[in-house]
Amino acid sequence: MKSPKNKEYYLTLSIETSCDETSAAVLKNGREVLSNIVSTQIDIHKKFGGVVPEVASRKHVENIDIVIEEALSGAKINLKEIDHIGVTYGPGLVGALLVGISSAKAMAYALDIPLVGVNHIEGHICANYIEDKNLKPPFLCLVVSGGHTHLVHVKDYGIYDILGQTRDDAVGEAFDKVARALGLSYPGGPVIDMLSKKGNKAAIHFPRIYLDEGSLDFSFSGLKSSVLNYLNSQRQKELPIKVEDVAASFQEAVIKVLVDKTIKAAKQTKVDTIVLAGGVAANSGLREALLQETKKEKFHFKYPSLKLCTDNAAMIGCAAFYNYQQGKISDLYLNAVPNLKLGK
């Protein structure tokens, strides 16, 4: 197999198709992004109020070759110069994942270069290595996306200790479901974020769910139900609903718990740096609250730029580079693992 070790630099081609973004990127030495092409299907799924798996797979098939070609031409790199291929193999929608995996396998086989399967959650964490070239483990990472809510102690490159996670809905999922109940468009997170700026976050007291004493796990389904109950009760009583206030009060309940548990986890693990990752990391209220609290508690705080928060292949390429360096290479039997967990 080609791709000798100890080269001056390595070029990674990476692919991400776990949900509703078809993306390909080219990276140099894992942290320098030469191109990062993201073709989003949001407008297509909007009509259905959420991602339709079958439609997502078909769109990935239509887009994947175009996106890869754009990533290579944008980076001014010939496919033959690529050293290894990284691809998301889970967690995600099985049909969507298989499109990226099949494409990556075909290229790795044809070019005779290593194939590196990447965990999507690890990709989100690695987005921060691209954003801040000096960031090094250990640190504590709060991963918040449409499918995941994790507090992760990143002990070293590729070494993850999960300290807490959601027991039901992911944060992004709660944003999307509450938005839907308010008659707002998909994805709900950005809309609720925007409306919250115009609302009163103390208008309605929604529950802050902390679970058992000392637990670093999360639960958002009770909060979601509480918002739905509030809306039903207002409607039954024919009382007005101020959407901005509901959005701001809901967002505040989410942020309070996320921030409190993140600070607690950082103190427990004795790290000095807190890092934010995932689609919900784009939330302006969450960023602001963590900025203030980390300043008060004297932690360094890092978060990715908006483009690196939501799904993209550059973050997968970065994770693939570190996996490759550690010899974590996949074979051509690599399959999609829809419920893949982030291990130690």
**Which residues sit at the interface with Zn ion, rule CB under 5 A?**
145, 311
Nearer to Zn ion, 169 or 311 (CB): 311
**Smallest gap from residue 229 Cβ to ligand KG4 (A):** 22
CB of 98: closest distance to ligand KG4 in angstroms?
Answer: 17
Q: Are 281 and 121 in contact (CB under 8 A)?
A: no
Q: Under the criterion CB under 6 A, does residue 90 sit at the interface with ligand KG4?
A: no
Closest CA to 248 of 182, 183, 299: 182
**Residue 308 interacts with ligand KG4 (CB under 6 A): yes or no:** no
Question: Residues near 5 by Cβ (< 8 Å), separated by ≥ 6?
Answer: none
* Burial per residue of 101-112, b for 16 or more beta-carbon CB atoms within 10 angstroms, e otherwise: bbbbbebbeebe
- In the set 90, 117, 158, 172, which binds ligand KG4 (CB under 6 A)? 172
- Whether the CB-CB separation of 126 and 158 falls below 8 Å is answered with no
**Does 304 help bind ligand KG4 (rule: CB under 6 A)?**
no
Report the partner that residue 245 touches, choosing among Zn ion, ligand KG4, none (CB closer than 5 to 8 A by kind): none
* Nearer CB in complex with Zn ion: 145/273: 145
With binding defined as CB under 6 A, does residue 278 bind ligand KG4?
Answer: yes
| Residues 320 and 158: beta-carbon distance below 8 Å | no
* 146 lies in the site for ligand KG4, by CB under 6 A: yes
Binding flags for ligand KG4, 116-145, as an x/- string (CB under 6 A)? -----------------------------x
> Which one of 190, 199, 304, 317 is in contact with ligand KG4 (CB under 6 A)?
190
CB-wise, 134 or 339, nearer to ligand KG4? 339
What's the closest the beta carbon of residue 142 comes to Zn ion, in angstroms?
Answer: 14
b/e code 160-176 from CB counts within 10 Å (16+ = b) = bebbbbbeebbbbbbbb
Site map (CB under 6 A) of ligand KG4, residues 235-274, x = contact: ----------------------------------------
Q: Decide: is 19 part of the binding site for ligand KG4 (CB under 6 A).
A: yes
189 binds, options ligand KG4, Zn ion, none, Cβ within 5 to 8 A by partner type:
ligand KG4
Of 82 and 174, which CB lies nearer to ligand KG4 in the complex structure?
174
Q: Out of 16, 122, 131, 193, name the contact with ligand KG4 by CB under 6 A.
A: 193
Nearest distance in Å: CB 73, ligand KG4: 25
**Contact region with ligand KG4 (CB under 6 A), list: 44-52, 187-195, 221-229, 327-335:** 187-195
Of the residues 95, 279, 304, 317, which one makes contact with ligand KG4 according to CB under 6 A: 279
**Burial (0-12, 13-18, 19+ Cβ within 10 Å), 120:** buried
**Residue ranges that bind ligand KG4, judged by CB under 6 A:** 19, 145-147, 172, 175-176, 187-190, 193, 278-280, 282-283, 310-311
